[in-house]
Amino acid sequence: MLNIVVVSDFAHVEGGNSAVALSSAIGLARSGHRVTLLSAVRPVEPGLSESGIRVICTDQSAIGSDPQRIRALIQGIWNRRAAQSMANILRGVDPGNTVVHVHGWTKALSSSVIKVAIDRRFKVVCTLHDYFSACPNGSFFNYQKNAVCDLRPLSGACVSTQCDRQHYGHKIWRLVRQYTQNRCGGMPKDVHHFIIVSEVSRMVLRPFFSPGSQMYYVQNPVQTTYAEPVDINRNSAYVMVGRIAQEKGPHIFAEAARMAGCEAVLVGDGDKRAEVLRLCPTVSMLGWLPHDAVMTELRKARALVFPSLLYETDGLSVVEAAALGIPAIVSDVSAARASIVDGVTGLLFKAGDPKDLAEKMSALRDDTAGARMGRAAHAHYWRNPRTLQRHVKELEHTYEQVLAC
């Protein structure tokens, strides 16, 4: 039995990062390990305490939603309260039998919690759900140019470039946070163990880590159970799941749906709702839905569309769709491209190109091609399903390797 300290900004499911952190914590606890969750933002997911997990929450706001902006800016750079909570958790604990597993720290906890664990000589492993370990805006994306950024983080060109989604003042704060994280928080130079969830993230991040750092491949779990593949020939809707933000490509999806004359459904919310509706007035906007309701919408889909302009690190909705027998149309820049076999379980399209996406959406109107890809996606997924049990086993194996170093 191991002691595992799971670090997540949120004690509830706020997005893909926290969903994986909490589900893996529950899975590890049910496998007999002693699990503590260090978090900042309530409410606390009920399943945590029910699984015997000790939850330590600093009862703070996420820095993006704290009305006291000065406090939020300071907390985001160096969260003293969270650092003290980590110190209390580790006091009297055996470092030889303990792993500190960091999932999320940039939205509330800060890198102060990582520094405490490193200074006390605990083994730290970080799952790379995003690119904040290297890039100030966490995505290697220039929001002003609406394109992937290839500048070296914290270089002169990076510092002088306004790439932030808000304003340059916000970019300056992100640069200060990144510098503090790198020089004082020990991330990434003093963390030697990283979990990657895709080969794309390995490719992007490897140059920024120390030569001696280790990378372990552990796929994120998927919440689904086996059922026969959906008969997509009964379905007509093309579904996108995600934030309605420019970098996620909802405007590309909307324009392509209008061009192809396809029924479009968008599950999610964000600041580009008005633009999406302008481009495609008939799109159904469902807002954020519980996971079970999202899966219900996917079962009604002819295909999932994943139009992200970002590298991303995984793209769970593509895998969830495949588990149901729904093919996906995926942008060729995103990590989700590795989750399909082009022309077999889904289709790739040129990122940012609504015309190419419209052509691919039209191609899946063919009953024979669509059904064939849906069945192939289902078979491909269920040959090696990404269950929570498999995820936990892979984590246990990773922890053994980390502790042996």
In the chain, DSSP finds a helix count (H) and a strand count (E) of 15, 15
Residues 176 and 126 in one domain: yes
Residue 356: the pLDDT is 98
Residues 240 and 294 in one domain: yes
Range of the domain at 75: 3-221+387-404
Residues 52 and 165 in one domain: yes
**Cβ(356)–Cβ(349) under 8 Å?**
yes
Query: Does residue 321 form part of some domain?
Result: yes
How far CA 14 is from CA of 10, 125, 248, 289, in Å, comes to: 7, 21, 17, 12
Residue 49: the pLDDT is 93
Strand partners, 213: none
* Whole-angstrom distance, CA of residue 309 vs CA of residue 248: 6
Query: Does residue 46 form part of some domain?
Result: yes
Residues 217 and 238 in one domain: no
* Whole-angstrom distance, CA of residue 289 vs CA of residue 295: 10
CATH of the domain at 35: 3.40.50.2000
Query: Does residue 226 form part of some domain?
Result: no
In single-letter form, the type of residue at position 93 comes to V
Residue 265: the pLDDT is 98
DSSP secondary structure letter of residue 11: S
Mean pLDDT by 10 residues, the chain (405 residues): 97 93 98 98 96 98 96 98 98 97 98 98 98 97 95 97 96 98 96 96 94 95 95 97 95 98 96 96 95 96 98 96 98 97 98 98 95 98 97 98 96
Helix (H, G, I), strand (E, B) or coil at 397: helix
Residue 15: the pLDDT is 86
Query: Does residue 71 form part of some domain?
Result: yes
Residues 286 and 193 in one domain: no
Residues 250 and 270 in one domain: yes
Residues 126 and 256 in one domain: no
Residues 203 and 274 in one domain: no
Residues 82 and 186 in one domain: yes
Residues 330 and 193 in one domain: no
pTM equals: 0.94
Strand order in the sheet with 98-102: 54-57, 34-39, 3-7, 98-102, 123-127, 193-196, 214-217
Query: Does residue 208 form part of some domain?
Result: yes
Residues 286 and 204 in one domain: no
Structural domain count, the chain: 2
Residue 44: the pLDDT is 97
In single-letter form, the type of residue at position 302 comes to R
Residues 380, 384, 389: CA angle, nearest 5 degrees: 145
How far CA 405 is from CA of 34, 119, 176, 180, 195, in Å, comes to: 21, 17, 32, 27, 15
Residues 197 and 295 in one domain: no
Query: Does residue 227 form part of some domain?
Result: no
- Bridging pattern class, strands 98-102 and 3-7: parallel
What size, in residues, is the chain? 405
How far CA 197 is from CA of 24, 166, 334, in Å, comes to: 14, 29, 13
Q: Is the bond preceding 188 in cis, omega lying within 30 degrees of 0? A: yes
Strand order in the sheet with 328-331: 284-287, 263-267, 237-241, 301-306, 328-331, 346-349
* Whole-angstrom distance, CA of residue 180 vs CA of residue 140: 19
Strand partners, 6: 37, 101
